[in-house]
Amino acid sequence: MTFLGPGPASGPGPGPGPGESRPPFQVRLAIGKLHAYTAIFTLEGYTMRNRIPGIIALTLCACAGAASAGITISFPLKTGSTDKVNSASYLCEEGEPLSVQYVNSGVNSLAFLTIEGEERAFVNVISGSGARYVSGQYVWWVKGSNATLANDMVEDSMKNCRLQE
């Protein structure tokens, strides 16, 4: 997984002017050897009554060639709303570090983690307490500064992790 992050500011000054857009935040996921997914989170920067609304775009593209295929997905992120992208670092059992990228955009809540060398996108699902994310057989469950990572296919695989401040 590659977190491309925001690019340099577009145009001079501290932020975009009317008609200019902020650089997109990009997350690139490689799935297998032949596929790649890129999620792009963009804040479009035109001003309307001192607000910069997020623009939603869903773009699917297939790249020709035997070596690669790809898809690009965009989610809206509204400035001044609860929509956000943030990173967190956890320290798991046996001193194992784990970096997590959270994306919350409207009804879409995602967590991006690298598990056993594989880059995975986790989707938020219903939980009785805390935030529970699932990717295949893996479950990432966060409550406060504590988290657990489990492989539902392997008994006793749960790892306890703690948020690093």
Boundary-marking domain end, from 52, 78, 104: 78
Q: Domain range holding 52?
A: 1-78
d(CA 146, CA 43): 31
pLDDT tens for each residue of 34-57: 334 444 444 443 222 222 223 222
Residues 141 and 97 in one domain: yes
Smallest Cα–Cα separation from 84: which of 21, 28, 6, 162? 6
DSSP result, 2-60: EE----SPSSSSSS--TT--PPPEEEEEEETTTEEEEEEEE-----BTTB---------
CB atoms within 10 A of CB 95: 6
pLDDT band at 70 (very low <50, low <70, confident <90, very high): confident
- For β-strands 138-143 and 146-151, DSSP reports them as antiparallel
User: How much is the pLDDT for 78?
Assistant: 72
Residues 72 and 113 in one domain: no
Start-to-end CA span in the chain (Å): 23
pLDDT tens for each residue of 115-149: 989 899 999 999 889 999 999 999 999 999 999 99
Alpha-carbon distances, residue 67 vs 23, 29, 63, 107 (angstroms): 28, 16, 9, 34
Boundary-marking domain end, from 78, 94, 111: 78
Boundary-marking domain end, from 78, 111, 128: 78
Task: Report the CATH number at residue 125.
Answer: 2.40.128.200
Residues 2 and 73 in one domain: yes
Amino acid in the structure at residue 15 = G
> Could you tell me which residues come within 8 angstroms of residue 75 by beta carbon, excluding any fewer than 6 positions away?
39, 41, 56, 103, 105, 106, 108
Decide: 40 and 7 in contact? Cβ < 8 Å: no
Q: Rg of the chain's alpha carbons, rounded to an integer?
A: 18
Residues 74 and 133 in one domain: no
Number of domains in the chain: 2
d(CA 158, CA 120): 17
> Structure pTM?
0.58
Residue 19 pLDDT > 70: no
